[in-house]
Amino acid sequence: MNVLLNDMAGEEKLNQFIARIEAGEKIEADDWMPEEYRGTLIKLISMHGISEIMGALPEKEWVPKAPTLNRKLGIMAKVQDEMGHGQLLLRVAEDLLKPYSKKRDDLMQDLFKGDLKFHNVFHMEAKSWGDAGLIGWLVDGAAIISQTNMLGASYGPYARALQRICAEEVFHAQHGEAIIMALAEGTEEQRKLVQDSINYWWESLLLFFGPPSKKEVGTSKQDITIKYKIRTSTNEELRQAFFSKYVKRILSLGFSIPDETLRFDKESETWIYQQPDWGKLKVFARNEGPRSQDRLSLRRNSYEKNKWVREALAPKII
Amino acid sequence: MRNESLKDIAIKELLLQLADDDFIHSYRGAEWLGLAPHIEEDVASASISQDTMGHAAIYYKLLDELGEGDADKLAHDRPAKERRNAIILELVNGPGHYMKDPDYDWAFAVVRNYFYTQAKAIKVQSLHSCSYEPLAEVAQKVQMELYYHLMHWKTWFVQLLGSGHLEAVSRMKAAIGKTMPDFAGVFSLGQYGEEMVELGLIEGEAVLQKKWIEAITPIFESVGLAATIQIGMARGDGRNGQHTEDLEKALKTLSEVYASDKAASW
């Protein structure tokens, strides 16, 4: 009898919850939410947060190497912002994790165990100053498209964090574009840096938005996130938006895109393109990308080497 | 040879010292990116390193305006023997590379950063009455940011030493022992030091050093450390171009892209 009552209450709660998000209300950290919603948010936001943190590592290499004082200042500010985004997002994730008594420490352990994934682009190598520019221009450009899609997210704390993050990402994309423009207007070698970067990163940029449907990699969270109004557009719609925004810009600078089949089909109003190797997403998820292990090992290194600092700062148990 | 007045030479020397100190100090800070003890600290110390690089850029630009050459060239294209930074600031954070197996010591970072930031605050305070007005103006701006940097590193210094955590305290003491023997290099004004003082650019080495000791003594005492502060220049005086291999390596990294095409616009 009690069980039945609880179930009824649960169903009613769920209906109320759905009605709230349908009405455009924001869900807050202490509000009741279905497990599926909480679980989806935890996965999404902790992955987003940890990706920001892991994303600082490929660019870090180029912070000291940036070729002028202004570029040094620019990239320092950018990497600091990314870390700040990571911190903001992990705080949002930590609130969601409370009912499970899990903390940031647990998220770090999940990362080291390979349970918490980070975005495919941050498994790649940043080989040159051209890559440092391209990451800002196109990777952050792609991130803006994917994140603005969630600005209206039904979960209030995430939506508010994204407001700030997206505003800063716009600066990052401008910072990246400025680096690329300087190289594009420069010597043959400098232009080659950009072309090599485009060739190297193109597939990763397409993978970044995720598979069009479940059938490419076996799973996809996009249906659930749309159902709960965490996002509005599908992966494919976002990828199409990326093409519409950047293909012309890349070509107008005189660079080529490593896909001879890429074209805009007027009839269907869609971009036709060579499908990336979707299997690579699984490779990255297993932390077997070109730089996955190096990045994890840097993160682990910092975590282990500074254990004494965390202990020294921990509140004393008397 | 340009016919420069002694005042011009002394001003340029002082600017080079200030610029080179902050440039290399910022680099050592930036090497910690992504490696700091926690994410909040990563954000905070990255912000401090960025401010510090900004200060270096301001000093290089003043030199540029004085006809010493392009600020980027001054920052990236001078060999170690022409650098004026204090040796303590160029020493590595620890063994390993910032991208591979770094074995960095947070205690050394905290001690060096606190000592240097306190010393910088005293020098910048002295520059408020610098007879070279553009530098006196810059000092006002730098001081505003420095207030927060100093508060940050002082907090770390006191917290770790006052933690009662055995390893933390022993690491911090070791880091103090490592920093002191070369720290006097930060106060050295180099071969034109006397002229700098006579021309009213900055107070003398002994005065600056005394003020620094006065500032850190109560902090030492607050965490139960005997305030026997003895600093030296064990490895030489960076102001005169004496440097270690650590600086050579750092400069190679800092100028890697710049040096790939010095004539290009980046």
Percent of chain A with pLDDT over 70: 96
Residue B43 with chain A: CB contacts under 8 Å: 80, 83-84, 87
Distance from the B41 Cα atom to the nearest Cα atom in chain A, whole angstroms: 10
CATH topology of domain A33-313: Ferritin (1.20.1260)
Confidence of residue A217 (pLDDT cuts 50, 70, 90): confident
Residue A56 with chain B: CB contacts under 8 Å: 33-34, 42
Confidence of residue A222 (pLDDT cuts 50, 70, 90): confident
Per-residue exposure over B74-94, b if at least 16 CB sit within 10 Å of its own CB, e if not: bbbebebeebbbbbbbbbbbe
SS (H, E, C) A89-124: HHHHHHHHHHHHCCCHHHHHHHHHHCCCCCCHHHHC
Q: Which of these, B228, B108, B227, B93, lies nearest to B179 by C-alpha position?
A: B108
CATH topology of domain B6-259: Ferritin (1.20.1260)
Per-residue exposure over A217-245, b if at least 16 CB sit within 10 Å of its own CB, e if not: eeebbbebbeebbbbebbbbbbbbbbbee
Residue A213 confidence (pLDDT): 84
**Tens digits of per-residue pLDDT, A69-85?**
999 999 999 999 999 99
Residue B1 confidence (pLDDT): 46
Give the integer Cα–Cα distance in Å for B43 and A87: 8
Per-residue pLDDT of chain B (266 residues; tens, 9 = 90+): 455 899 999 999 999 999 999 999 999 999 999 999 999 999 999 999 999 999 999 999 999 999 999 999 999 999 999 999 999 999 999 999 999 999 999 999 999 999 999 999 999 999 999 999 999 999 999 999 999 999 999 999 999 999 999 999 999 999 999 999 999 999 999 999 999 999 999 999 999 999 999 999 999 999 999 877 899 999 999 999 999 999 999 999 999 999 999 999 99
Residue B99 with chain A: CB contacts under 8 Å: 60-61, 294, 298
Q: B239-242: which pairs have CB atoms within 8 A and are 24 or more residues apart?
A: B239/B13, B239/B17, B239/B84, B239/B86, B239/B185, B239/B188, B239/B189, B239/B190, B239/B191, B240/B190, B240/B191, B241/B80, B241/B81, B241/B82, B241/B83, B241/B84, B242/B87
A309 pLDDT more than 70: yes
Tokens 């455009």 belong to A24
A303 pLDDT more than 80: yes
Helix (H) or strand (E) holding A263: strand A263-265
Residue A272 β-bridge partners: A263
Residue A7 confidence (pLDDT): 61
| CA angle, residues A89, A91, A93, in degrees to nearest 5 | 70
Distance from the A313 Cα atom to the nearest Cα atom in chain B, whole angstroms: 7
Residues 10-29 on B with a CB inside 8 Å of A are 27
ipTM over 0.90: yes
Do you know the residue count of chain B? 266
Q: How many CA atoms lie within 13 A of B60 on its CB side?
A: 26
**Tens digits of per-residue pLDDT, A172-205?**
999 999 999 999 999 999 999 999 999 999 999 9
Confidence of residue A220 (pLDDT cuts 50, 70, 90): confident
A318 pLDDT more than 70: no
**Tens digits of per-residue pLDDT, A79-119?**
999 999 999 999 999 999 999 999 999 999 999 999 999 99
What is the CB neighbour count within 10 angstroms for residue A46?
A: 26
Give the integer Cα–Cα distance in Å for A53 and B14: 39
What is the CB neighbour count within 10 angstroms for residue B128?
A: 12
Verify whether the Cβ–Cβ distance A302 to B72 is below 8 Å: no
Residues 231-260 on B with a CB inside 8 Å of A are 250, 253-254, 256-258, 260
Q: Which of these, B17, B14, B68, B12, lies nearest to B197 by C-alpha position?
A: B14
What is the CB neighbour count within 10 angstroms for residue B147?
A: 10
Residue A1 confidence (pLDDT): 45
- Nearest chain A residue to B19 by CA distance is A69
- Name residues whose C-beta falls within 8 Å of residue B123's C-beta, 6 or more positions apart in sequence: B18, B202, B208
Verify whether the Cβ–Cβ distance A311 to B168 is below 8 Å: yes
Q: Which of these, A317, A218, A291, A259, lies nearest to A54 by C-alpha position?
A: A291
The structure tokens listed for B50 are: 């960025």
**Tens digits of per-residue pLDDT, A247-299?**
999 999 999 999 999 999 999 999 999 999 999 999 999 999 999 999 999 99
